[in-house]
């Protein structure tokens, strides 16, 4: 039986992917740490859409978590046709003062788990000559972001990696799409301990998912969600790096000082 595996499915964009794809009759394997949320979501989606939904409660930053997840899906015979690498988090603050362990954990989740899961499931997709991989990146991937230094760097990796693998997969009927949302109404900002961000102008997770699924259907390797985000990302790439980085730093520095008070 074919399944779509979604990491970070217990809230935000991952949950929105699960809801939308359940509507489209995908069978699901949902992954995150919050077991109760996953259990309730699986029950709800199975009842509502007559699909099969399983969950694996797992911390993807743990040693060999990707191997454990892969073996679990193999053991049960779940044929992973779609892989959505969505789990991720950010942090905001002066890099020198941020908690080092948390920064390394971010690299482990946003980058290492994504690469490992892509590698494991891609091998099977390649022999089957079919599959879809969606990697949730960010508009943060298009420029360095002072005070979100590690996060922006992890997402730059995700965008670059996805575009390269997408090209390698073209002869194999496998679509790889990097999805770049801008600010979206989820738990992300609270988790990142970010400066308060006005909800005005933010997208909903459902809008991000709609854009992502359209891009997958069109076989696009990269998509930015939202017109304003798209314009911002184009400007971010054509303006000189030194100018963009300085402008962001100058904008965020006083905001962070204010937040500390
Ligand atoms: N919201 C935005 O403004 C925005 C913008 C651009 C890109 N993004 C990207 O979108 C993706 C989804 O984030 P979101 O905005 O939907 O935020 P969110 O609501 O905080 O969702 C993050 C998801 O990741 C899971 N997760 C976190 N740590 C994990 C771990 N160690 N192991 C397994 N799962 C873990 C969380 O579940 P548990 O806590 O249950 O583990 C949750 O399901 C992230 O990659 C983020 O970087 C978000």
Task: Give residue-wise pLDDT tens across range 157-189.
Answer: 999 999 999 999 999 999 999 999 999 999 999
Residue 205 C-alpha to ligand 1 middle, in angstroms? 11
Closest residue by CA, ligand 1 atom 41:
33
Q: Please choose from 18, 56, 89 the residue to mutate so as to test ligand 1's pocket, defined by most ligand atoms within 8 A of CB.
A: 89
Q: Thinking of the domain 2-260, which architecture would CATH place it in? A: 3-Layer(aba) Sandwich (3.40)
pLDDT value at residue 204: 97
Give residue 67 CA to ligand 1 midpoint distance, Å: 20
Question: How close are the terminal C-alpha atoms of the chain, in Å?
Answer: 55
Closest of 190, 167, 185 to residue 177, by C-alpha: 167
Q: Which residues line ligand 1 (CB under 6 A)?
A: 7-14, 32-34, 59-61, 86-90, 109, 136, 138, 181, 183-184, 186-188, 191
Q: For atom 45 of ligand 1, which residue has the closest CA?
A: 88
Positive/negative CA dihedral, 212, 213, 214, 219: positive
Question: How remote is the CA of residue 14 from the centroid of ligand 1, in Å?
Answer: 7
Contact 12, 204 (CB under 8 A): no
| DSSP H stretches of helix in the chain | 12-23, 35-49, 65-75, 100-107, 114-128, 149-169, 188-191, 205-217, 227-238, 241-260
pLDDT for the residue numbered 200: 72
Return the pLDDT at 196.
65
Query: Nearest residue CA, atom 17 of ligand 1?
Result: 188
Q: How far is the CA of 13 from the centre of ligand 1 (A)?
A: 7
Residues of the chain with pLDDT under 50: none
Rg (CA), the chain: 18
């Amino acid at each position: 039986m074919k399944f779509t595996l979604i990491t970070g499915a217990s809230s935000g964009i991952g949950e929105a992917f699960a809801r939308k794809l359940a509507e489209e009759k995908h069978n699901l394997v949902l992954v995150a740490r919050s077991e109760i949320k996953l259990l309730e979501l699986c029950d709800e989606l199975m009842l509502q859409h007559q699909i099969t939904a399983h969950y694996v409660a797992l911390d993807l930053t743990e040693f060999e978590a990707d191997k454990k997840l892969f073996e679990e899906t193999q053991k049960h015979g779940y044929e992973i046709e779609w892989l959505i690498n969505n789990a991720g988090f950010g942090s905001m603050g002066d890099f020198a003062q941020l908690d080092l362990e948390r920064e390394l954990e971010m690299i482990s989740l946003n980058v290492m788990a994504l690469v490992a899961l892509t590698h494991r499931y891609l091998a099977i997709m390649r022999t089957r000559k079919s599959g879809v991989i969606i990697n949730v990146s960010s508009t943060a991937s298009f420029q360095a972001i002072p005070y979100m230094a590690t996060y922006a760097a992890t997402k730059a990796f995700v965008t670059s990696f996805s575009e390269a693998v997408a090209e390698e997969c073209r002869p194999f009927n496998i679509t790889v799409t990097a999805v770049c949302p801008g600010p979206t109404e989820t738990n992300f900002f609270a988790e990142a301990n970010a400066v308060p961000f006005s909800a005005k102008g933010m997208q909903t997770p459902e809008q991000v998912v709609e854009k992502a699924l359209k891009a997958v259907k069109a076989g696009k390797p990269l998509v930015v969600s939202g017109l304003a985000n798209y314009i911002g990302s184009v400007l971010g790439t054509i303006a000189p790096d030194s100018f963009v980085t300085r402008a962001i730093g100058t904008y965020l520095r006083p905001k962070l000082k204010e937040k500390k008070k």
